[in-house]
Amino acid sequence: MIRLAGHRLGKQEEAEVLEVIDACAVRTWALTACDAMREATAEIDALNVYPVPDGDTGTNLHVTLQSAVDALGSADQQLELAPTLDILARGALLGARGNSGVIVSQILRGVADRLGGGLSADGVALAGALAHAADLAYAAVAEPVEGTILTVARAAADAAMATTAAGRRPRLQEVARTAAAEAGRALERTTSQLDALARAGVVDAGGAGLCVLLDALLATVSGTDLATVESEPPHSDRLPDLRPLAPARGDVAELSGPDVTLNKDGGFGYEVQYLLDHADEITVEVLRGDLAALGDSLVIVGSAATSELPALWNVHVHVDDVGAAIEAGVRAGRPHSITVSRFADRMPASTTSCSAELVQGNLQVDVWSGRGLVAVAPGAGLAGLFAGEGVEVVEGGPTRNPSTADVLAAIRRTGAAEVVVLPNSFTVTAVAHAAAVQAREGGQDVAVVPTKSPVQGLAAIAVADPTRRFVDVVIALAEAAAATRWAEITVAVREAMTTAGRCAAGDVLGLAEGDVVLIGKDQVTVTCELLDRLLSAGGELVTLVLGADAADGFLDQVRQHMRRGHPGIDVMDYRGDQPHQPVLIGVE
């Protein structure tokens, strides 16, 4: 069984083994997992080999679990199993940071759904809960990728369910031990399942975090402690080779996948997703035919209304004509929670969206009115730019990703019935979706436009027209963001292999739409070379957003270069004060 350095199970012969999970066991599990994740944070963070400073997986998972523990701590300690599990899952969701945090909150939601039926739960119930949790985790990801936390979750669940084959009723400890052991073996296999992990010689970071969570569950069931030991971390003898590596930015070792390009092999340019209500099976069949004529990869799931539940459908399609796809939904019913992604802008890391099953018991407000915008902004200057346009701002960015609760609070502060959220970073998109789910439960209609950079967010708000229909505004913002190519300059925080070669800590990196394309020693030189590359594909307007770490005289030197090399291009500059990125660049 794989153990991260610093963690092992205590002596089993000294344990008082649990036969069932009750509310007390859930609280013990949460505390044990949170403590273990805190100790493992640095080690899991180190599995994220990409050199750009950002909120790493171990940190994100610890913050997520700490939020769950805090929620349990503030709740009535006499609560029974079902409400205790619900509080645990909801606390994790509200504190979730990064893709890994959102997925783990979804896993906890799955456990809560299946274990909360009585005062306690035995081994058979735990196996079913782990299987349901894996199903929810996969359902949360638009394009599941094997070799990630999803693979580890499925392997653990399948092994747990195997213990119940042929009508067996295994003891709780057997199920927990089997799941944790198979999760460890599955984690080992992730190195060979993804090229990025294989080349870096590491296991998946999110999967490693899930192993910590399952080890803590086993320790709770077995009545033991996760004792610290002095040992080398797994794979410490595997050093990255010198071959070029093309990882995704951010949580690269957590959710990675193949590049998707615009109209590759004759495919379509946009992915459109929305929820649809006020529709019946007949109108949905008409919608299915309309969308099939517009594109491919069509999936419509859901159900018609029952005496207990209203009709709700989830619509997904790849198209070139975004407006037509949404108009088809308008004819069928009421589309909401709309997201539009252009494949040319999609990063290798998949984004995550949470299902409506995630959250219950949200704050209800009698009347929401009007329309609002919410944007994530890393830096006081950028925050001021967005706020000056009437946008509700969420502080956050590299090394400090906002939580679900942060984004949800901003959505609610708008007081608006219709809200557009601009995450302005693909590492925040999953959290924005999770917050949107909660806000919808409270009566607001929320659409997430998956902006990857603040410069795309600035381009989007420039076309926000309050007189237009909400659906039309969402389309306009998505198209404006997609039409803005984005780039940035940052400084490597660790040695790594990148698409541009090997970099060392302290090197200046030039990134174009998330990929490292230049490595140098000087901010101005790298910026000018990056601008030359971007403008070789055309452009009429360049936007420069200066960060807190911009070098002295940076702007003057870059403007001089633009006047010499690109005299016909307009240049606008702003003071963003964002950390870790001396300049953000937009080209339109």
How far from 166 is each of 128, 162, 163, 204, CA to CA, in Å? 15, 9, 9, 33
Phi-psi sector, 166: left (phi>0), alpha (psi -120 to 50), beta: left
Share of the chain residues as helix, strand and coil, in percent rounded to the nearest 5: 45, 20, 35
Provide, rounded to the nearest whole percent, the portion of the chain with pLDDT above 90: 47
Q: Which of 301-315, 321-335, 373-387 has the lowest mean pLDDT?
A: 301-315
CB 81 within 8 A of CB 21: yes
Q: Which of 205, 227, 249 is the last residue of a domain?
A: 227
CB 549 within 8 A of CB 575: no
- 133 falls in which pLDDT band (50, 70, 90)? very high
pTM of the model: 0.65
Euclidean distance between CA atoms 382 and 421, whole angstroms: 16
Q: What is the pLDDT of residue 34?
A: 93
478 and 336 belong to one structural domain:
no
177 and 35 belong to one structural domain:
yes
pLDDT of residue 81 exceeding 50 = yes
Computed over every residue of the chain, the mean pLDDT equals 81
pLDDT of residue 164 exceeding 80 = yes
Q: What is the pLDDT of residue 247?
A: 31
In a domain, 255, yes or no: no
CA 249 to chain centre: 12
The H-or-E segment that residue 366 falls in is: none
pLDDT of residue 1 exceeding 50 = no
Q: Which of 118-127, 308-317, 470-479, 536-545 has the lowest mean pLDDT?
A: 308-317
Region 200-204 average pLDDT: 85
In a domain, 245, yes or no: no
From the CA atom positions of the chain, what is the Rg in Å?
A: 24
Q: Which of 114-118, 252-256, 464-468, 550-554 has the lowest mean pLDDT?
A: 252-256
Q: What is the pLDDT of residue 152?
A: 96
CB 201 within 8 A of CB 165: no
Q: Which of 314, 345, 376 is the last residue of a domain?
A: 345
Q: Residue 272 maps to which CATH number?
A: 3.30.70.120
Region 291-295 average pLDDT: 89
505 and 451 belong to one structural domain:
no
In a domain, 93, yes or no: yes
In the structure encoding, which two tokens stand for residue 528, read together? 């000018």
In the structure encoding, which two tokens stand for residue 56, read together? 């790493």
- 299-305: Cβ within 8 A, 24+ apart: 302/276, 304/280, 305/280
- 236 falls in which pLDDT band (50, 70, 90)? very low
Q: Which of 57-71, 80-94, 305-319, 565-579 has the lowest mean pLDDT?
A: 305-319
pLDDT of residue 338 exceeding 80 = no
398 and 495 belong to one structural domain:
no
In a domain, 149, yes or no: yes
Q: What is the pLDDT of residue 310?
A: 67
- 476 falls in which pLDDT band (50, 70, 90)? very high
CB 316 within 8 A of CB 234: no
In a domain, 75, yes or no: yes
Region 192-206 average pLDDT: 84
Euclidean distance between CA atoms 399 and 379, whole angstroms: 12
Q: Residue 139 maps to which CATH number?
A: 1.25.40.340
Q: How many residues does this entry show for the chain?
A: 588
CB 319 within 8 A of CB 343: no
* Pair type for strands 418-422 and 392-395: unpaired
Between 53 and 410, where is the model more confident? 410
- 153 falls in which pLDDT band (50, 70, 90)? very high
180 and 271 belong to one structural domain:
no
Q: What is the pLDDT of residue 257?
A: 28
319 and 468 belong to one structural domain:
no
Q: Residue 502 maps to which CATH number?
A: 3.30.1180
Q: What is the pLDDT of residue 98?
A: 75
525 and 413 belong to one structural domain:
no
- 357 falls in which pLDDT band (50, 70, 90)? very low
Euclidean distance between CA atoms 407 and 411, whole angstroms: 6
In a domain, 252, yes or no: no
CA 537 to chain centre: 30
The amino acid at residue 564 is: R
What burial class does residue 486 get, using C-beta atoms within 10 Å of its C-beta: 0-12 exposed, 13-18 middle, 19+ buried? buried
pLDDT of residue 533 exceeding 80 = yes
The amino acid at residue 430 is: A
The C-alpha angle with vertex 252 and arms to 143 and 53, in degrees rounded to 5, equals 135
474 and 335 belong to one structural domain:
no
Q: Which of 21-35, 225-239, 310-324, 476-490 has the lowest mean pLDDT?
A: 225-239
CA 395 to chain centre: 17
401 and 494 belong to one structural domain:
no
- 484 falls in which pLDDT band (50, 70, 90)? very high
3-state secondary structure of 392: strand
Q: Residue 450 maps to which CATH number?
A: 3.40.50.510
Q: Which of 345, 375, 390 is the last residue of a domain?
A: 345
In a domain, 250, yes or no: no
Region 153-180 average pLDDT: 95
Q: What is the pLDDT of residue 235?
A: 34
Total count of domains within the chain: 4
495 and 476 belong to one structural domain:
no
What domain range includes position 99? 8-227
Q: What is the pLDDT of residue 296?
A: 78
213 and 77 belong to one structural domain:
yes
Q: Which residues, at least 6 apart from 184, have a Cβ–Cβ distance to it below 8 Å? A: 1, 2, 3, 211
pLDDT of residue 358 exceeding 50 = no
Q: What is the pLDDT of residue 53?
A: 64
In a domain, 248, yes or no: no
330 and 198 belong to one structural domain:
no
